[in-house]
Amino acid sequence: MTEPADHMPEREALAAEYVLGTLPLPDRLAAEALIDSDPAFAALVLAWQNRLAPLDGEFAPVEPPAELYQRLERRLFPAKSHSPRRLGWLFGALSGLAVAVLAAIVLLPALPPIAPITATLTGEGQALTMSASYDSRAGELTVTRTGGPAAETGKDYELWVIPEGQAPISVGIVRDAALTVPLAALPPGATLAITLEAEGGSPTGAPQGPLLVAAIISEK
């Protein structure tokens, strides 16, 4: 039986969280430096990779549907607001940034006792990555910037939840520290989206800046 993370030695827990992808960016960079300089720690990471590798075969890859961009467009604004002016930010994001939605977050009960379900959100052609981790024991989903630059001066990365058929709901600002939201705010079929907004978030309560990364939340 695998030992819970809060009872593990610190280095063992760090190796496990590195493999799971749940570390904040500074801790992840520190772990990568430790892998390069400490063979014993590198061996711990390899052991965790081998331990968790069988989980990869338990779930079929999730292919984004062909109509995904259209679904995102409908969810980011209600049908009555589909005007060129309101949707200009989304069209610019899709064409100018070639945003790729690479992962659907699968909400499953955590595999005892270690297992938050994780997904990495990335945008095509940019270094920014976001890690999403669902912990069924706590009933929380955490989104953390795990790679790429911080938002430029005067800007912030804003997280949105778009329930099916509803307008986007601002959840908060994702900085280096993880942003945690209750699962009740993330029903299956909703969309998670990250946009680049003015510092402190969109002043209008609706997305104004470019769409960077997104994921459809699905349940199997």
23-82 pLDDT tens trace = 887 788 888 888 888 888 888 888 888 887 776 665 566 666 666 656 666 666 555 544
**Domain residue extents for the chain:** 5-56, 68-218
Looking at residue 201, its pLDDT comes to 93
Is residue 183 a contact partner of residue 141, using CB atoms and an 8 Å limit?
Answer: yes
Residue 49: CB partners within 8 Å, gap ≥ 6?
Answer: 19
Task: Check the CA dihedral 145-186-209-202 and report its sign.
Answer: negative
Low-confidence ranges of the chain (pLDDT < 70): 1-8, 55-126, 136, 183-188, 217-220
First to last CA, the chain: 25
Q: Which two tokens stand for residue 68?
A: 């995904």
Return d(Cα 79, Cα 5) in angstroms, integer: 45
CA distance 181 to 75: 20
Tell me what pLDDT residue 89 has.
54
CA distance 143 to 104: 14
At 65 the pLDDT is 63
pLDDT score recorded for residue 101: 42
Q: What is the pLDDT of residue 175?
A: 82
- Kindly give the pairing relationship between strand 105-106 and strand 211-218: parallel
Strands of 9-147 (E only): list them: 105-106, 117-122, 129-135, 140-147
CB atoms within 10 A of CB 197: 22
pLDDT at residue number 197: 94
Give the pTM: 0.52
Report the C-alpha gap between 218 and 190 in whole angstroms: 8
Residue 74: how many CB atoms within 10 A of its CB? 16
Q: Residue 126: what pLDDT?
A: 66
Please report the pLDDT score of residue 199 as a whole number: 93
Q: How far apart are CA 153 and CA 168, in angstroms?
A: 25
Res 100: pLDDT: 42
* Confidence at residue 200, expressed as pLDDT on a 0 to 100 scale: 93
Q: What residues contact 112, with CB distance under 8 A and at least 6 apart?
A: none
